[in-house]
Amino acid sequence: MRAPDGPPVTSGDVLLSIDNVSLSFGGVKAISGVSFDIRKGEIRAIIGPNGAGKTSMLNIINGFYHPQQGIITFKGEARSKMRPHDAADGGIARTFQNVALFRGMSALDNIMAGRTLKMKRNMFWQMLRIGPALAEEVEHRHRVEEIIDFLKIQEIRRTPVSRLPYGLQKRVELGRALAMEPELLLLDEPMAGMNIEEKEDMSRFILDVNEHYGTTIALIEHDMGVVMDLSDRVVVLDHGIKIADGTPQEVKSNQAVIDAYLGVAH
């Protein structure tokens, strides 16, 4: 095992770096002075007790929140107030803690919605479904079917998502994010509320996405076993402050982390 302060295991270019970022809502400090980076091709976990600021962190990365302080650099470019749809355009996709699907649509339409930014044809051709618009629709359907095969949800593609069980809804949501062909995929508790079998399936999908598509993944998860198995590096937040950063092994044996999770005797 490495020393806790040694150089991190994985190497590679930095895809996203968070530099001294602070976020507050009125008087409540959600995140104070946090810095870490996400490297190309890695699976990066963000963990911490409830209220640690994990989801706020994801919301900052994809532009839902704008930090009052700090610099965010994505693909070598420092960005200021980026809006969520610009983040999506730049290659950041995400899923939500409480599944956020388009409830009125089928699984297929939900995943097709992930292709929105990739469809360029004129609205009038699309209405008539002829010529280049038809070719485009077919091409995108093709990509979406690949994702559906990959996630093994062929049988439910026409089902309205509101009728699907929770585990499958989470899978469709992952499919929608994958349809965007993101460079950085943010997963907010992808396994919350799942049974062991569903968790294993989801873990496999996450690893496969990372391997086959080379997608960089940042995930929030409460199941420590899953975090230790999946991630290359882990950053730990507590009360909006970073208390540890390193490989799963390093983090697991870090005294501050143990204290944060178990509480300290005063």
Name the residues that contact another protein, by CB under 8 A. 62, 64, 83-85, 88-89, 93-94, 96, 100-105, 109, 112-114, 116-117, 119, 121, 123, 126-127, 129, 176-177, 180
C-alpha closest to that of 218 among 197, 242, 188: 188
Query: Closest separation between CB of residue 59 and another protein, Å?
Result: 9
Q: State the Cα–Cα distance between residues 153 and 164, nearest whole angstrom.
A: 11
Residue whose CB is less far from another protein, 52 or 88: 88
φ/ψ of 194, rounded to 5, equals: -100, 155
One-letter amino acid for residue 133 of the chain: A
Q: State the Cα–Cα distance between residues 199 and 210, nearest whole angstrom.
A: 17
Looking only at the bridges linking them, the beta strands covering 216-220 and 233-238 are unpaired
Q: State the Cα–Cα distance between residues 132 and 129, nearest whole angstrom.
A: 9
Cα distances from 108 to residues 114, 140, 154, 245, in angstroms, run: 10, 11, 9, 39
Residue whose CB is less far from another protein, 55 or 210: 55
Residue whose CB is less far from another protein, 186 or 243: 186
Show the tokens assigned to 170.
């989470």
Query: Closest separation between CB of residue 61 and another protein, Å?
Result: 11
Query: Closest separation between CB of residue 62 and another protein, Å?
Result: 6
Residue whose CB is less far from another protein, 185 or 251: 185
Residue whose CB is less far from another protein, 89 or 259: 89
Query: Closest separation between CB of residue 88 and another protein, Å?
Result: 3
Query: Closest separation between CB of residue 228 and another protein, Å?
Result: 28
Q: State the Cα–Cα distance between residues 119 and 177, nearest whole angstrom.
A: 15
